[in-house]
Amino acid sequence: MERKHYTQQINITDALMARINELLSHYPSDKRKSALLPILHEVQDAHDNWLSIELQDKVAEIIGIKPVEVYEVVTFYTMFNQRPIGKYMFEFCQTSPCCLNGVENLMDYTCNKLGVKVGEPTADGMFEVRGVECLGACGYAPMMQLGDFYQEHLTEEKIDQLIADCRDNKITLHDK
Ligand code: FES
């Protein structure tokens, strides 16, 4: 099956480059690849939360490693996005404790409310729903991650409120 190619405006600002250089400075000069994960997070945050092939190539060039070394990391971890995603990504934990506490019904509820399937952004690009593995907050099941923050003990009412708050621009996605 042919993969769709998404284009992206690459913008490595002076501030982003300074942050990348700071991250690289934490490692010996012959171990620059060790900074790849934090650099990818910074670069993704600065590019609407996704990483095109061209942007991954740019990261490889900056670090001085092969592009494939970036591709293999980006394709392995679900926190890196390879296509444009909804601005508000509802990442529901789908591991047993959250399932036993009704997370799948809440995912269905959210998808129906937003008029989407799992893995499809809404037409306005505002929302997307995704299932992920255990987020390490099993005692607060059912839960999900929204940006850098956890939303715990979810109910349909909490989902309604979160969606309303996202639409009203009241949700902070990043903790910095
Ligand atoms: S099972 Fe959901 S956070 Fe661990």
Domains of the chain (ranges; CATH) run 14-76 (1.10.10.1590), 88-167 (3.40.30.10)
CB 110 within 8 A of CB 117: no
Taking the centre of ligand 1 as the mean of its atom positions, its distance from the CA of residue 167, in whole angstroms, is: 27
Taking the centre of ligand 1 as the mean of its atom positions, its distance from the CA of residue 102, in whole angstroms, is: 12
Separation between Cα atoms, residue 59 and residue 116, nearest integer Å: 32
pLDDT at 121: 94
Residue 100 pLDDT > 90: yes
For the full predicted model, state whether its pTM sits above 0.75: yes
Mean of the per-residue pLDDT values for the chain? 95
Helix, strand or coil, per DSSP, at residue 88: strand
Residues 6+ apart with CB under 8 A from 62: 12, 17, 20, 39
pLDDT in tens, 24-41: 999 999 999 999 999 999
Residues 131-170 as b or e (16 or more Cβ within 10 Å = b): bbeebebbebbbbbbbbeeebeebeeeebeebbeebeeee
pLDDT in tens, 129-155: 999 999 999 999 999 999 989 999 999
Query: Closest ligand 1 atom, CA of 96?
Result: 1
Q: How many helices and strands, by DSSP H and E, does the chain display?
A: 7, 4
CB 153 within 8 A of CB 140: yes
